Amino acid sequence: MVILGSTKVGKTAIISRFLNGRFDEQYTPTIEDFHRKFYSIRGDVYQLDILDTSGNHPFPAMRRLSILTGDVFILVFSLDNRDSFREVQRLKQQIFETKSCLKNKTKENVDVPLVICGNKGDREFYREVQREEIEQLVAGDQQCAYFEISAKRNTNVDQMFQTLFTLAKLPNEMSPDLHRKVSVQYCDMLHRKSIKNKKLKDSDAYGILAPFARRPSVHSDLMYIKEKAVGGGQGKDKERCVIS
């Protein structure tokens, strides 16, 4: 999962809500944060990697690499900031162009599950982005949904994540309000797929936040891209697609 958008639109606040249910009033600029969460859902094990990107993008190649490795996306803008909405428009186009390069398809034939969020709906403000413009951005794209949310008040955040996971054909129990959070001591059991504990039942859904998670190396990312690439081209072609 890759979350993208301009600075100060609330990307990190959304991820904080997702991971620990908290909202931090103090703003701290994000350079890049990486998180990993494990799930056991009805006996199956899932690993979700989350990349919280910087609103500034001094390294375009890294932004492109983040898009290529991403499987699901959240694009965030602030309802009172037109420039942040324009950035989301550019990002949506860049995602489709980058993914079409990877899969040797046209932009119109690339399926990318993504949700666009208009954040800061809790504030009294002059609305700079009208609903008609947003509807035009998502119209005709069955893999794209739009939500007006408030990370501060936790309004529509859970529903947004449920929709994103549904679009990606993943269990919606990955959403924060639909699984039980358990401590890291159960992590080994998840890896072994052997939750045999009287406190944990295979029929339930559990989530564990991995401590000290680190983003894979650039080499690992390139290998991952090569493995998941669909259709024509060899490894070198894929790497050229990444850095061009």
pLDDT, one tens digit per residue, over 185-209 is 666 656 555 445 545 555 588 898 9
Answer whether residue 48 shows pLDDT above 80: yes
- With cut-offs at 50, 70 and 90, classify the pLDDT of residue 106: low
Binned at pLDDT 50, 70 and 90, residue 143 comes out as very high
Query: Is the model's pLDDT at 170 over the cut of 60?
Result: yes
Can you give the CATH number for the domain in which 204 is found?
A: 3.40.50.300
pLDDT at 181: 85
Domain that holds residue 87: 2-243
pLDDT in tens, 57-76: 667 778 888 899 999 999 99
Domain count, the chain: 1
Q: How many other CB atoms are there within 10 angstroms of residue 115's CB atom?
A: 24
| In the predicted structure, residue 219 carries a pLDDT above the cut 70 | yes
- Position 221 scores a pLDDT of 80
